């Protein structure tokens, strides 16, 4: 089978289209013939070596497809089932072996492309809005990169929960996408200072209850400046680079603020939690309450183009690889 792997870390030229054996599922595992694989920023971190894993490494941690074989002891899925997963390494391939308890069924009315596109980013948006800081009616939130994959989903879920959503974007096209996803106010940070704009929008409230920040280095300190007293900064990504060290006393000086750095694994730590979150997501997709925007679907062999698009921040929505 074909698999996109790295044998050393570095730029996109490290991505290799390898021909390797189709793996066999062991006890508790299932073999999935992938119909679509999700591309995420963490894949670029693995490629560059920012997050190191043993080499050679098949990239990708998210996909959707059809079960073609199961190992001993598997009862949760069977051959022929349409399934999706996230958080298991090796999805840039035609087939992947996945622990059966990490697979979720894809219901009728949800395509494999939609399932692959909503797993990691959808679960992230779900836990951010419902658990990390549970939004409620009357809350005001700031969503950075509001036209990105997570951002578009987060705007929609936050709006469902009755929050007032302010989004930041870099272009007029992205502003229109964020508005379409439910953002009530959108700030183009290339032409306006987002701190000044948030203060203007929230005049009389003094700021927002929570900032959801996937950008990192370039937005971190200013994000603290738009929070109300005892507000929460949720730092869940670093597309502009890692946040540097800072003095925790800064949080007290700015109003006894809260700072958290969540990871998906801690919010789907049990199968019950995984099923609950994906049930919500698939139901919302199926009934039209949640729109999954697929920015582009690229052949597996052109994974380098997918990485270039993601790293240049040229995408609005999900990038998929099609085996």
Kindly list the structural domains of the chain, giving each domain's residue range(s) and its CATH number in brackets, ordered by start. 2-119+269-322 (3.90.180.10), 137-261 (3.40.50.720)
Question: Which stretches of the chain drop beneath a pLDDT of 70?
Answer: none
User: 38 pairs with which residues across the strands?
Assistant: 320
DSSP 217: T
User: 32 pairs with which residues across the strands?
Assistant: 67, 96
Model confidence pLDDT, tens digit, residues 25-67: 999 999 999 999 999 989 999 999 989 999 999 999 999 999 9
Give the pair of three-digit tokens for residue 26: 């062991």
pLDDT at 142: 98
Give the pair of three-digit tokens for residue 285: 């997709």
- What CA–CA distance (Å, rounded) separates 80 from 65? 10
User: 31 pairs with which residues across the strands?
Assistant: 69, 97
pLDDT at 237: 84
- What CA–CA distance (Å, rounded) separates 151 from 168? 9
Are residues 307 and 284 in contact, defined by beta-carbon separation less than 8 angstroms? no
- What CA–CA distance (Å, rounded) separates 308 from 103? 29
Closest to 318 (Cα-Cα) out of 112, 113, 128:
113
pLDDT at 162: 97
Give the pair of three-digit tokens for residue 157: 């879920």
- What CA–CA distance (Å, rounded) separates 200 from 207? 9
Please calculate the CA angle 51-312-259 and round it to the nearest 5 degrees: 55
Residue 184: is it exposed, middle or buried by C-beta count within 10 angstroms (0-12/13-18/19+)?
middle
Give the pair of three-digit tokens for residue 308: 């270039």
pLDDT at 243: 80
DSSP 47: H
Rg of the chain taking only CA atoms, in angstroms: 20
pLDDT at 204: 80
Instruction: Please give the order of strands across the beta sheet that includes 57-58.
Output: 15-19, 2-6, 57-58
Q: Which residue has the tokens 């074989």?
A: 69
pLDDT at 241: 79
Residues, the chain: 323
- What CA–CA distance (Å, rounded) separates 260 from 246? 14
Are residues 164 and 140 in contact, defined by beta-carbon separation less than 8 angstroms? yes
Sort strands 294-299 and 318-322 into parallel, antiparallel or unpaired.
Answer: parallel
């Amino acid at each position: 089978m074909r698999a996109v792997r790295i044998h050393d870390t570095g730029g996109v030229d490290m991505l290799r289209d390898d021909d390797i054996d189709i793996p066999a599922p062991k006890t508790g595992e299932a073999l999935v013939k992938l119909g679509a694989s999700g591309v995420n920023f963490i894949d670029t971190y693995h490629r560059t070596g920012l997050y190191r894993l043993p080499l050679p490494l098949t990239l990708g941690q998210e996909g959707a497809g059809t079960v073609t074989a199961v190992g001993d002891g598997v009862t949760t899925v069977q051959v022929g089932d349409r399934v999706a997963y996230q958080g298991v390494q090796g999805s840039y391939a035609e087939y992947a072996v996945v622990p059966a308890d990490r697979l979720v069924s894809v219901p009728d009315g949800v395509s494999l492309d939609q399932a692959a596109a909503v797993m990691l980013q959808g679960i992230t948006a779900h836990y951010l809005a419902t658990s990390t800081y549970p939004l409620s009616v009357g809350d005001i939130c700031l969503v950075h990169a509001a036209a990105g994959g997570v951002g578009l989903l987060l705007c929609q879920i936050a709006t469902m929960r009755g929050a007032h959503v302010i989004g930041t974007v870099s272009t007029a096209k992205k502003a229109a996408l964020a508005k379409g996803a439910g953002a009530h106010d959108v700030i183009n940070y290339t032409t306006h200072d987002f701190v000044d704009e948030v203060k203007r929008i929230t005049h009389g409230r003094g700021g927002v209850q929570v900032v959801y920040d996937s950008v990192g280095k370039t937005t971190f300190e200013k994000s603290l400046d738009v929070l109300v007293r005892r507000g929460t900064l949720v730092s869940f990504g670093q597309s502009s680079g890692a946040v540097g060290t800072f003095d925790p006393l800064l949080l007290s000086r700015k109003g006894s603020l809260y700072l958290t750095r969540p990871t998906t694994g801690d919010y789907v730590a049990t199968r019950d939690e995984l099923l609950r979150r994906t049930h919500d997501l698939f139901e919302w997709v199926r009934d039209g309450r949640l729109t999954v925007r697929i920015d582009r679907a690229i052949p597996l062999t052109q994974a380098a183009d997918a990485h270039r698009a993601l790293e240049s921040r040229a995408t609005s929505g999900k990038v998929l690889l099609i085996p």
